[in-house]
Amino acid sequence: MADTRFKPVVALVGRTNVGKSTLFNRLTRSRAALVANISGLTRDRHYGEGRVGEHPYIVVDTGGFEPVATRGILVEMARQTAQAIAESDVVIFLVDGREGINAHDHEIARLLRKSGQRVLLAVNKAEGMRHHADLAQFHELGLGEPHPISAAHGDGVSALADEALAPLLAEQARESGAADPEAATDEGGAHEHRIKLAIAGRPNVGKSTLINTLVGEDRVIAYDLPGTTRDAIEIEFERGERRYTLIDTAGLRRRGKVFETVEKFSVIKTLQAIEAANVVLLLIDASDGISDQDAHIAGFITETGRALVVGLNKWDAVDREQREWVQREYDRKLRFLSFARVLHLSALKGQGVGPVLKAVDAAHAAAFAKLSTPRLTRILQAAVEQQPPPRKGIFRPKMRYAHQGGQNPPRIIIHGNALDAVPDSYRRYLEGQFRDAFNLAGTPLSVEFKSSH
């Protein structure tokens, strides 16, 4: 029985300027705070994690999901919007309560009605709106009752999220209630030692070839093709002492003895699998250089805080001159992955696969490292002694102690006074000190400050 559940996906759809990114930021606030404390991320966020109570869900802002070409913008937007609509569990369609409906809204509404997806119509910028009269016009879109919200002020937002998620969470609760409770307790102990691994990458980089290499050489304990689309497909295998659960990102199906990719690339499935994993192996077709889509997927992975190993695959097909070019491309496009190990491999020939799995193990160990308060505090004090934080005006930040606030990614929380003044460069300096001391290669690390004054 699969015990990994994909998080439900809410897609935010609407034309430019209706407030999608404002709503996105409000829904994903807690994750945003974590992401802000992970070094090296500069890209715009278009996907994040929201929560209803304890239950996480994925929010996708379709607005700028991929850079849009200047030509054929509408065509491209329509294509992306259509894909996000089809792959999500529920759509929140935003319109602008002040401007009213225009032709583009009608066009999106038409797409949505055709999709057959569940859609909640949100009328944004509704702060101070006189309800009934102003909302009435939006019934015209044929998408049911309009929900007035103010993304900027927060009015109506959590009620909207609750309503969007309620049926999905109820369904998940029913399904997990129906699962064998003993199977779950049996797993308890072994669970921690099992590495949940997602192999991510764009089409044709060699994901299924690698999976067949891994699974073919080793005893397959179980594989699972559960019925509902929201369940992750898992493949379990052992290698040496370790047990791995592969979480499918590729739309794999088993045909005879081998797995093959049968679905077209799905951004949302990739996101869900990355979210459900502890460690991600990002495969890149090195013979093809580094593409924008590779960088895109790398960005998602970093945003989730998952541990990461990068595999430059098809190394057998890269000649000497190309190697330098690949390296330059990598440095230029994937600089923000400096925490991750990069390995060369050939999934086809089975070369370099062992070292990749070793790096996965190390990344997993780093992501789940237990960092004791006394040791963290000693490292902090030594770092501060070696290089004190800069003054801001008359205030000198004072760092008292550090403790661990979470795992996968590790979060280190530093307590003291006047810590708001600590510049990001100093935060990165401390991060480096902790990384070295605890050997935390392979995982992002969040270093956060908590001031008492």
Query: Which run of H or E residues covers position 267?
Result: helix 267-276
Residue type, 451: S
270 binds ligand GDP per the rule CB under 6 A: no
Q: Are 127 and 148 in contact (CB under 8 A)?
A: no
Closest of 363, 392, 441, 426 to residue 414, by C-alpha = 426
Query: Which run of H or E residues covers position 426?
Result: helix 424-438
CB of 61 to ligand GDP, least distance (A): 7
Closest of 409, 428, 412 to residue 377, by C-alpha = 412
CB of 53 to ligand GDP, least distance (A): 24
Q: Whose Cβ is closer to ligand GDP: residue 38's or residue 205's?
A: 205
Residue type, 3: D
Q: Whose Cβ is closer to ligand GDP: residue 20's or residue 196's?
A: 20
Burial of 413 from C-beta contacts in 10 A (0-12 / 13-18 / 19+): middle
Q: Whose Cβ is closer to ligand GDP: residue 94's or residue 164's?
A: 94
CA distances from 281 to 196, 249, 297, 342, 376 (A): 11, 11, 11, 10, 29
CB of 263 to ligand GDP, least distance (A): 10
Please tell me whether 345 is known to bind a ligand.
Answer: no
Interacting stretch for ligand GDP, rule CB under 6 A, among 19-27, 110-118, 184-192, 301-309? 19-27
What is the footprint of ligand GDP within residues 178-217 (CB under 6 A)?
Answer: 201, 203-209
Backbone angles phi, psi at 326, to 5 degrees: -60, -45
CA distances from 282 to 92, 190, 200, 318, 364 (A): 31, 26, 5, 18, 14
Q: Which of 17, 39, 137, 404 binds ligand GDP (CB under 6 A)?
A: 17
What is the footprint of ligand GDP within residues 286-315 (CB under 6 A)?
Answer: 313-314
Sheet-wide strand order for 398-406: 398-406, 411-417, 446-451
How far is the C-alpha of 138 from the C-alpha of 145, rounded, in Å?
Answer: 8
C-alpha dihedral over 317, 322, 325, 326, to 10 degrees? 10
Please tell me whether 206 is known to bind a ligand.
Answer: yes
Q: Which of 32, 68, 152, 365 binds ligand GDP (CB under 6 A)?
A: 152
Q: Which of 7, 20, 196, 411 binds ligand GDP (CB under 6 A)?
A: 20
120 binds ligand GDP per the rule CB under 6 A: no
Please tell me whether 61 is known to bind a ligand.
Answer: yes
Please tell me whether 336 is known to bind a ligand.
Answer: no
Please tell me whether 99 is known to bind a ligand.
Answer: no
124 binds ligand GDP per the rule CB under 6 A: yes
CB of 285 to ligand GDP, least distance (A): 7
Burial of 171 from C-beta contacts in 10 A (0-12 / 13-18 / 19+): middle
Query: Which run of H or E residues covers position 166?
Result: helix 157-178
CB of 258 to ligand GDP, least distance (A): 10
CB of 236 to ligand GDP, least distance (A): 19
Q: Are 317 and 55 in contact (CB under 8 A)?
A: no
Interacting stretch for ligand GDP, rule CB under 6 A, among 14-22, 42-50, 371-379, 399-407? 14-22
Please tell me whether 202 is known to bind a ligand.
Answer: yes
Residues annotated within the binding site are 14-21, 61-65, 124-127, 201-208, 248-252, 313-316
Q: Which residues bind ligand GDP (CB under 6 A)?
A: 14, 16-22, 63, 124-125, 127, 150-153, 201, 203-209, 250, 261, 313-314, 316-317, 346-348
Binding site feature residues for GTP: 14-21, 61-65, 124-127, 201-208, 248-252, 313-316
